[in-house]
Amino acid sequence: MDEIEHYLVKHETDYPNSDSQLLREIAYVRLKDAIRHANISPGEPLSENKISKVLGISRTPVREALQMLSQEGLVELSPGRSVTIAASSFRQILDVLYIRSIIEPELTRLAAENITPDQVNTLWDCIKIMEDAVEKADRSGWAIADTAWHETLSEACPNELLGELVLQMRNRIHRYASIDHNLKIRQLRNGTAEHRIIVEKIASGDSDAAATAMHDHLDSLRKNLFDHLIYN
């Protein structure tokens, strides 16, 4: 069984059935989660047929879901209908980080000004999970909590388009930033500490300081990824 199939089976119960959901939406959500959090290498091929069997739905909604994921830069579709996990070039990764450094601090500032107490609590919960995952060297668990953290921050932003754009940019390099098994635990520990500082600034009501902390976090991420891609 391929890694993505194993992940889909393992996490099957994470997604409650909903009669109101279209099959392509179910396939989209589950595939997106697997692509971001399973140990899948860039360029690895995906099988519509195998995914269809694991999900228990026909190939058409799976194909539609893969097309949606292609638009987000998570998979690549070739004219011959082959599907592979997207492989970003070094230049593309730096470009995405540059865009994030411009828009994500502003998202953080706006989120800090509009965030609800429940959303702040969710951010703290994610921090706790990330800290526990670091101690257990659980990279996958850390990545899942990191995703939830960023999604919560984006949801708190009153500008929905900005929130969507930040998450789309993050998706394009998520695997390099979070789930690479060569990434040192020390870097995950430092990243968690940087997330904590951002939440502290948000909780204190200092939106400008929260934006600055996010900028510093992204600068640290850029340096870590640069070192990782150059020396590995």
Count the residues in the chain.
232
**Three-class DSSP category at 129:** helix
Q: What is the pLDDT of residue 204?
A: 97
Q: Are 66 and 48 in contact (CB under 8 A)?
A: yes
Per-residue pLDDT in tens (0 to 9) along the chain, 232 residues? 577 777 788 777 766 555 546 888 889 888 888 887 777 777 888 888 999 989 998 989 999 999 988 887 788 888 766 888 877 677 888 888 999 999 999 999 999 999 999 999 999 999 999 999 999 988 878 888 998 999 999 999 999 999 999 998 888 776 555 444 445 788 889 999 999 999 999 999 999 999 999 999 999 988 877 766 554 5
pTM above 0.85, yes or no: no
Q: What is the pLDDT of residue 146?
A: 92
Over the range 152-162, which residues count as b (16 or more CB within 10 Å of their CB) and which as e?
bbbebbebeeb
Q: What is the pLDDT of residue 21?
A: 64
Q: What is the pLDDT of residue 227?
A: 67
Q: What is the pLDDT of residue 182?
A: 47
Which helix (H) or strand (E) segment holds residue 45: the answer is strand 45-46
Rounded to an integer, what distance in angstroms lies between the CA atom of residue 64 and that of residue 142? Answer: 29
Rounded to an integer, what distance in angstroms lies between the CA atom of residue 165 and that of residue 169? Answer: 6
